Amino acid sequence: MAIRLVYVGNHRLIREGLIRFIETQPDLSVVGEAGSPQDAVECVRCCQPDVTLVDLQWWGMAGVMVCVVSTASGGELLQAFRAVHQGRLAWPCDVDEAFGAHGVQPTLTPRQVEVLQLIAAGLRNADISTRLQISHQTVKLHVRAILARLNARDRTQALSIGIRDGIVYLEP
């Protein structure tokens, strides 16, 4: 079964070229594309992709598992798709440079904050999945991304960091 992808980027020519390149791979299938963050939300909701490729300028609109800089080769991009689909994280050594060039500080996305807040409320992954109406696998990907972003060993340490840094609050 092919890995289902959605590509979100505002440069149509680049989007079309990447889509053509991606579709040369037998294990990858582009099921949707969007030219704006607003269109992306609807596209992802309708297409239910396994992986979404989002331009760095829209950082924070989705959980990020992998950052691929624009100097990456086509092979590196394909490896990144496959890594994300397998639930792995990958951050190239020059990722901080890529973020800095866009004035972006890598922090938790709003959805990741929401997941961490639900963890703080004592919910299990299955409960979070039901509450947010997302798949159990998507919850697991968010948790892995939270752990990576906060450099935490486990959910407890991520929660401690989140509370310390004012990302989440314990409900009375």
Residues 66-80: what's their mean pLDDT? 76
Q: Where are the alpha helices (DSSP H) in the chain?
A: 12-22, 37-47, 74-85, 95-101, 110-120, 125-132, 136-150, 155-164
- Give the pLDDT of residue 93: 46
Which of 101, 125, 141 lies at the terminal end of a domain, its last residue? 101
3-state secondary structure of 111: helix
Question: Is the whole-model pTM more than 0.75?
Answer: no
Calpha distance 8→105 (Å, rounded): 20
Take residue 3 and report the two structure tokens written for it.
């890995």
Say yes or no: 14 and 77 in one domain: yes
Each residue of 97-112: pLDDT tens digit?
555 544 444 578 888 8
Say yes or no: 8 and 45 in one domain: yes
Say yes or no: 17 and 64 in one domain: yes
Whether the pLDDT of residue 83 is over 50: the answer is: yes
Residues 105-121: what's their mean pLDDT? 83
Calpha distance 31→49 (Å, rounded): 7
3-12, 58-67, 157-166: segment of lowest average pLDDT: 58-67
What is the residue range of 120's domain?
110-164
